[in-house]
């Protein structure tokens, strides 16, 4: 399978911009197509090198989708009906003011997205804290790489998804991918992984694992929830094989002995008993990585599979400890990194959508940070509220007791994407006011009291920060439909109706970016040198960029971001998953993405080619497990867990673990995988445990009836 489709050479034309999906942010052109539509075509760029995946090639179809929202909607008599912008915005402002007058400022909440541009993320955080005066803001990026971010901060003093350009990967001797499946989730990245030997850590024989095996690499398939034990076992094996970089450990790190005391108990045979990965394979992986680290260089990269756990920060720390012990981070041609998922998962949290952060990756509890940002905003520091609660805690509290009674959602679909999604839908329905800004009627927007139609990626200006910390210009290629506004215009108009000065909430992206630069100046994520004209000209700008010509494509080469310049080993031990299987729920369900769809599927399920290729949810089951539970390939199965149920078509996979089933999370209605997932939270990152849920599986009562019921319940749009 080719990792990306590359077109024949063609003249450069159209508007140069970037893909609306994952954090690679592949470069493309948007240009007119026949019949009044639009098409995308890849352009040369270091990340995608002239390739696009199926999602990128079809992205323009959504621009002219018949399901586009073109006017505001207000719920009247239980139905959403068209309204004018003034009617919709006035209603939102009036009801927010009334609720806050009765219940206080925190009764209004904001839920944002890792898909919003830097400018929108920044202005939305400012809007929540000044126009609403609320602490209650978080975003769906909390469900993305928050565990890796927390682990990176405590190890290195700074968090950036990849602290090096992806082009560095091709020169390595080996790359370990823990819980990442880029062959399906970001195919153009595989072009950078053809030379290194791959060690893939994943419970499934994914497309990436198959590439590894076909090219002389390794696939380690641990029992879901045991990644930390496997990382400890690899560190143990590497030390006994004499593969650790003692000089690097002594000169550039602290805390190795404490970390080793945890790993010392995880010799490969014990690790095999816990993880199911054979001890000889653990030793082979350690030798492969250790040899590469000494010769060509090696990388350890983590993804959601190892991070989306109630102990995800410790799992990420265990992989960082392995990388540090091998002497990788902060070296040219070697390192550790996290494969950020969402398009702007990096920039989305750096500038104020996260409950505990202010622009520039500043802590909202830091007095100096509050003073700096307040001065840029033209307010007293006391006017900025304190820290709120994390994403799931916010969603869980909606409409209950002292929880928020109004919420504004921008660019997210938590009715499908949140853990324990059936509970979240109940909480959304309990609100006095739910406002959703989106360009289609997602499962969350369907429940709203007010729906605000906003522009898509190719219809607006702004910047994104990709997984390398590289700032990119998203250019307007297409006029939005009449009656549609940008998110910046919506935020600006609502702020004015809530009594804010007009100049405090500009709707022009470059004006917002310039202010973002001032607000982030001196912070860990310093964008003050990221002037719009630098990015417009295509200049390479990686944050931190504190000066007019500065860029930092490779972090930590001179030292880490702790005061002493050293990285920190963090001692971690293995603990069980948040819930265990039993006789009633004997199998582990784990979730993930597939090639053709993205996130909650609100976009990709509305694109004909993608919907036809994967029209419904499916469950991957080992043939023996299927036989034991009376399942047949292609028939509908009912999965039941401790929180809910879902329907999915059976796919048999001989390489699957017999104790594990896999379901994609891109579908709604009766096929919502997150109705099963566990909302148990990591104590540091507040990441939910998406990857381990105890379930049972059985044939659905009549495959044809089950399929019809699933679709009728909203599993497919329209």
Residues of the chain with pLDDT under 50: 1-12, 703, 708, 710-712, 714-718
Q: Look at residue 537 in the predicted model and tell me its pLDDT.
A: 81
Condensed to tens digits (0 to 9), the pLDDT of residues 20-64 reads 999 999 999 999 998 889 999 999 999 999 999 999 999 999 999
On whether the CB atoms of residues 320 and 155 are closer than 8 A, the answer is yes
What residues have CB less than 8 Å from 420, skipping those under 6 apart? Answer: 392, 643, 644, 674, 675, 677, 678, 679
Coil vs helix vs strand at 519: helix
* CATH code of the domain made up of 73-143+344-536: 3.40.50.740
User: Is the CATH number of domain 146-339 3.40.50.2300?
Assistant: no
* CATH code of the domain made up of 15-64: 2.20.25.90
CA pair distance 549, 636, nearest whole angstrom: 58
On whether the CB atoms of residues 441 and 67 are closer than 8 A, the answer is yes
On whether the CB atoms of residues 172 and 196 are closer than 8 A, the answer is yes
CA pair distance 320, 405, nearest whole angstrom: 41
CA of 592: how far to CAs of 103, 302, 334, 687, in Å?
39, 14, 28, 15
Q: Look at residue 538 in the predicted model and tell me its pLDDT.
A: 79
Q: Look at residue 532 in the predicted model and tell me its pLDDT.
A: 87
Coil vs helix vs strand at 689: strand
Q: Look at residue 709 in the predicted model and tell me its pLDDT.
A: 53
Cα 419 off chain centre by: 14
The structure's pTM equals 0.95
The secondary structure of 240-288 as a DSSP string is HTT-S-HHHHHHHEE-HHHHHHHHTT--HHHHHHHH---HHHHHHHHHH
- Token pair listed for 214: 């076909």
CA pair distance 262, 270, nearest whole angstrom: 13
User: Is the CATH number of domain 587-712 3.30.750.200?
Assistant: no
Q: Look at residue 343 in the predicted model and tell me its pLDDT.
A: 87
Using N-to-C axis directions, what is the helix angle for 118-126 and 487-497, rounded to 10°?
10
**In the chain, where are the structural domains located?**
15-64, 73-143+344-536, 146-339, 587-712
Condensed to tens digits (0 to 9), the pLDDT of residues 682-718 reads 999 999 999 999 999 999 986 455 554 544 454 443 3
Q: Look at residue 533 in the predicted model and tell me its pLDDT.
A: 87
């Amino acid at each position: 399978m080719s990792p990306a489709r590359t077109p024949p050479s063609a003249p450069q034309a159209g508007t140069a911009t970037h893909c609306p999906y994952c954090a690679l942010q592949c470069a493309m052109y948007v240009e007119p197509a026949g019949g009044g539509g639009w098409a995308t075509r890849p352009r040369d760029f270091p990340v995608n090198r002239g390739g696009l995946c199926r999602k990128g090639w079809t992205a323009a179809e959504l621009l002219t989708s018949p399901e586009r929202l073109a006017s505001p909607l207000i719920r009247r008599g239980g139905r959403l009906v068209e309204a004018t912008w003034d009617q919709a915005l006035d209603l939102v402002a009036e009801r927010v003011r009334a609720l806050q007058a009765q219940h206080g400022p925190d009764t209004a909440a904001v839920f944002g997205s890792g898909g919003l541009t830097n400018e929108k993320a920044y202005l939305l955080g400012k809007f929540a804290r000044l126009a609403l005066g609320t602490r209650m803001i978080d975003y769906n990026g909390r469900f993305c790489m928050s565990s890796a971010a927390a682990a990176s901060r405590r190890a290195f003093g700074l968090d950036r998804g990849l602290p090096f350009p992806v082009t560095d990967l091709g020169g390595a001797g080996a790359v370990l991918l823990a819980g990442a499946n880029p062959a399906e989730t970001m195919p153009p990245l595989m072009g950078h992984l053809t030379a290194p030997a791959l060690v893939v850590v994943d419970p499934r024989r994914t497309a990436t694992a198959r590439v590894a095996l076909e090219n002389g690499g390794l696939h380690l398939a641990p029992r879901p929830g045991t990644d930390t034990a496997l990382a400890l076992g690899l560190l143990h094996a590497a030390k006994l094989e004499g593969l650790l970089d003692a000089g690097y450990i002594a000169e550039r790190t602290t805390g190795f002995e404490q970390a080793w005391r945890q790993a010392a108990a995880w010799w490969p045979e014990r690790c095999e008993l816990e993880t199911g990965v054979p001890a000889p394979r653990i030793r082979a992986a350690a030798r492969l990585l250790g040899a590469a680290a000494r010769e060509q260089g090696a990388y350890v990269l983590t993804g959601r599979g190892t991070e989306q756990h109630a102990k995800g920060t410790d799992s990420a720390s265990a992989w960082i400890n392995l990388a540090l012990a091998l002497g990788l981070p902060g070296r040219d041609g070697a390192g550790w990194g996290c494969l950020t998922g969402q398009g702007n998962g990096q920039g989305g949290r750096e500038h104020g959508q996260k409950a505990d952060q202010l622009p520039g990756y500043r802590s909202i509890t830091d007095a100096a940070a509050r003073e700096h940002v307040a001065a840029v905003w033209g307010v007293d520091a006391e006017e900025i509220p304190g820290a709120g609660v994390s994403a799931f805690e916010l969603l869980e509290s909606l409409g209950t007791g002292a929880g928020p009674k109004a919420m504004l959602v921008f660019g997210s679909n938590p009715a499908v994407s949140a853990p324990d999604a059936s509970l979240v839908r109940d909480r959304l329905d309990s609100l006095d006011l739910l406002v959703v800004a989106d360009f289609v009627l997602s499962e969350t927007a369907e429940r709203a009291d007010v729906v605000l139609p906003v522009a898509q990626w190719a219809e607006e200006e702004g910047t994104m920060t990709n997984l390398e910390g590289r700032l990119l210009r998203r250019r307007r290629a297409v006029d939005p439909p009449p009656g549609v506004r940008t998110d910046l215009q919506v935020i600006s108009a609502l702020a004015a109706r809530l009594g804010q000065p007009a100049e405090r909430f500009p709707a022009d992206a470059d004006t917002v970016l310039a202010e973002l630069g001032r607000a982030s100046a001196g912070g860990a994520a310093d964008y003050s040198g990221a002037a719009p004209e630098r990015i417009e000209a295509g200049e390479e700008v990686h944050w931190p960029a504190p000066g007019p010509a500065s860029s930092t494509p490779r972090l930590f080469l001179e030292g880490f971001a702790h005061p002493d310049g050293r990285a920190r080993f963090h001692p971690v031990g293995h603990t069980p998953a948040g819930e265990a299987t039993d006789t009633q729920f004997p199998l582990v369900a784990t979730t993930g993405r597939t090639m053709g769809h993205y996130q909650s599927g609100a976009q990709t399920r509305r694109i004909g080619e993608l919907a036809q290729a994967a029209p419904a949810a499916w469950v991957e089951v080992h043939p023996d497990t299927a036989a034991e539970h009376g399942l047949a390939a292609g028939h509908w199965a009912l999965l039941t867990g401790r929180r809910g149920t879902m329907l999915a078509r059976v796919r048999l996979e001989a390489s699957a673990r017999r104790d594990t089933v896999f379901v994609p999370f891109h579908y709604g209605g009766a096929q919502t995988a997150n109705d099963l997932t566990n909302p148990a939270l990591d104590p540091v990152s507040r990441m939910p445990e998406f990857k381990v849920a105890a379930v049972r599986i059985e044939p659905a009562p009549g495959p044809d009836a089950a399929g019809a019921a699933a679709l009728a319940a909203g599993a497919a749009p329209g």
